[in-house]
Amino acid sequence: MDFFTLPPNVEPFTKNITDRILSINRHDIQNVGKVATATLAVYFVTSKLYSAFLGPLSSVPGPFQLKFYGFRYVPNIESPPGSTWEKLHMWQSKYGNVVRLGPSTIGIADKNMLKQILSTDDFPKGPAYQRTQVGGVNVGNADDRDFHKQRRRVISPAFSVKFVDSLERYMITSAGTLMKSVDQSIAQTQRNDGYGKVDMWILLKRFALEIIGESLFGGQTYRELENDSHTVNASTNGGMIGPLNYIANSPILGVLKLLLPFTGISEAYANSSQFRDKVILKRLQGGENARREDILQVLIDTQNERNPEDRLPIDAVVGETMLFWTIGTETISYVAGFAIIELLKNPQVFATLREELDNCFITSKKESLKNGGNTLFEHEQIKHLPYLNAVIDETLRIHSGATEGLERITDKDTVLGDRLFVPKGTILNCNMFYVQLNPDYWPEPTKFIPERWLPDSNIPADQEAFFPFSIGSRNCIAKQFAMQALRLAVANLIKFYDFEGIPEEINASNERSCFGAILGVRSNSFKVFMKRRQATPMKTT
């Protein structure tokens, strides 16, 4: 029998059905449609009402409207773009450490619950990260535990303490370039007393772009980068953090923003990607001759591993490199920028830090550290300076990254903090920003007091409520790298320059916005008067 010919008894049967369907008149179809729509509407409304008022999260306090839709979907006309973080902060302070942010979303700013979510239960990353997987899965957005564990194991040698130590030479070169740029800005606007105007915010963005560029894929390429205005502009205007962040943080407005050509975000991202691909291709094609001791090389060298599971496919090398480039640039530059702003707002803190740095012996005679007649600090000399570390920690506390929260999703029913039942599938927005300013844990939370980090402090810092690099299996892989870069930047700037704050600029720096993962100055600029110190005291052994 021909396989595609229907048996004789089936044909009349199907014909019968067709005839009956055709015989249903239009009116009947409309009625069926109405009943189906009404049933769906009743189901939708009932389930929304149930979830809002009777479901397991119904006892969690929060703004009324967020019982019905998630905070990321709120088109926010009354507050400017980039200010969702302010709303989250306000709700958290109004409703408490646990707040309802959507039908199945809660915000958490309780330190014990955060520890449970991020470390003990180690819940996977939530839908905001999954949305960014359209651009590829990487160590940062992976939500599959096994995939993440494997990927993180393979790339972690690039961030080991030893390897990061070896990147110091690139970081010092970048600190030198930063100081050259500061000197140039001063020279262009110099007053009679030697001070000139410097946009510290923009120069620190370039500094971070260079430090990451150098450590990631090469000095040679950085020189290309200097001529590549696309990439520098993308970074300095915040476009490089990537369209994916917009999609993650604001599924409706974010996507609209990307589609509007005048925002330039997609273009900036495309240009950065093109630049990155050029650099990686050059390294791959150059073989042994193109080798350079940097993060890219560590990733490429995984191809020689004996175990195939330990080899990173080339598309993953490209994806991870882009992730480090974008995340690393904005985080380092913003934290360094806010450290300088806080030091200017708090002259006594500035003086104490300056004194500590002036008393720090310069032991190295390395030529590479010479800069404009002065010798730059090496990391070894400054990494244990208590006050420098206290200034950086206090900056990380007040100006934390993850300003709009780190998202996790429960993969089992759970009880948070022994008191809150949370069903499987609940989205947990871990509000690291709020917890670090939470008056329950921090006396005078908004005051910049580095002394709280010193061993003999009478208002000791609550280390358990401090999550700048997160904790658990998804903590920042580059903490060591970031701290090294921050210490070198802040120590060398404060050691070698005098600063004079500009009151309007300091006031304007209180206006902040967050478009990616981290809070920045809304105007994308912070100007200050600076001059080289006349006789920089140098203590040598």
Q: Least Å distance between CB 25 and ligand HEM?
A: 57
Tell the residue number behind the tokens 């970074």, with chain if given: 235
How far apart are the C-alpha atoms of 27 and 33, rounded to whole Å? 10
Q: Name the helix (H) or strand (E) containing 241.
A: none
User: Smallest distance, Å, CB 406 to ligand HEM?
Assistant: 4
Tell me phi and psi for residue 360, to 5 degrees: -90, 120
Name the nearest CA neighbour of 435 among 57, 110, 36: 110
Judged by the rule CB under 6 A, the positions of this chain that interact with ligand HEM are: 139-140, 152, 212, 323-324, 327-328, 331-332, 335, 401-402, 406, 468-470, 474, 476-478, 481-482
Q: Which is nearer to ligand HEM, 186 or 437 (CB)?
A: 437
Q: Residues of 12-41 as b/e, b for ≥16 C-beta within 10 angstroms?
A: eeeeeeeeeeeeeeeeeeeeeeeeeeeeee
> Which two tokens mark 384?
């244990």
Q: How far is the CB of 409 from ligand HEM (least distance, A)?
A: 12
Question: Considering beta carbons, is residue 85 or 195 the nearer one to ligand HEM?
Answer: 85
Which whole-number Å values give the CA distances from 104 to 115, 373, 409, 413, 419, in the listed order? 21, 60, 10, 13, 17
Instruction: Say how far apart CA 301 and CA 41 lie, in whole Å.
Output: 57
CA distances, 287 to each of 274, 283, 284, 290, 300 (Å): 21, 7, 6, 6, 10
Residue 468 CB, nearest distance to ligand HEM (Å)?
5
Write the DSSP symbol of residue 513.
E
Rounded to the nearest whole angstrom, what is the least distance from the CB of residue 64 to ligand HEM in the complex?
Answer: 29
User: Of 55 and 135, which has the nearer Cβ to ligand HEM?
Assistant: 135
- Nearest distance, CB of residue 276 and ligand HEM, angstroms: 14
Residue closer to ligand HEM, measured from CB, 185 or 426: 426
Smallest gap from residue 127 Cβ to ligand HEM (A): 13
Quote the CA–CA distance of 148 and 159 in Å, as a whole number: 16
Q: What string of DSSP letters covers 361-390?
A: -B----GGGEETTEEPPPHHHHTT-HHHHH
The annotation status of 360 as a binding-site residue, yes or no, is: no
Of the two residues 164 and 186, which places its CB atom closer to ligand HEM in the complex? 164
Q: Which is nearer to ligand HEM, 140 or 239 (CB)?
A: 140
- Round to whole Å and give the CA distance between 62 and 68: 11
Mind giving me the DSSP string for 307-322?
SGGGPPPHHHHHHHHH
449 DSSP β-pair partners: none
In the complex, the smallest distance separating the C-beta of residue 352 from ligand HEM, rounded to whole angstroms, is 22
**Please, which residue, 186 or 203, has the CB nearer to ligand HEM?**
203
Q: Report DSSP state, residue 401.
A: B
Residue 67 tokens, joined: 């019982």
Least separation in angstroms between residue 66's CB and ligand HEM is 22
Residue 142 C-beta: closest distance to ligand HEM, Å:
7
Which of 60/482 has CB closer to ligand HEM?
482
Buried b (16+ CB within 10 A) or exposed e, 228-243: bebbbbbbbebbbbbb
Instruction: Between 82 and 468, name the residue whose CB sits nearer to ligand HEM.
Output: 468
Rounded Cα distance between 518 and 400, Å, is 7
Q: Cα Rg for the chain, rounded, in angstroms?
A: 28
CA 446/CA 354 separation, integer angstroms:
23
Pairing of strands 512-513, 520-521: antiparallel
SS3 percent helix, strand, coil of the chain, rounded to 5, is 60, 10, 30
As measured in angstroms, the least distance from the Cβ of 474 to ligand HEM is 4
- How far, in Å, are 136, 153, 397, 432, 438 from residue 109 at the CA level? 30, 30, 14, 7, 8
Closest C-alpha among 127, 411, 141 to residue 250? 127
Cβ closest to ligand HEM, residue 114 vs residue 332: 332
CB of 136 to ligand HEM, least distance (A): 13
Which CB sits closer to ligand HEM, 182 or 486? 486
The residue (of 153 and 539) whose beta carbon lies closer to ligand HEM is 153
Q: Which residues are annotated as a binding site?
A: 476
Which residue positions form the known binding site for heme?
Answer: 476
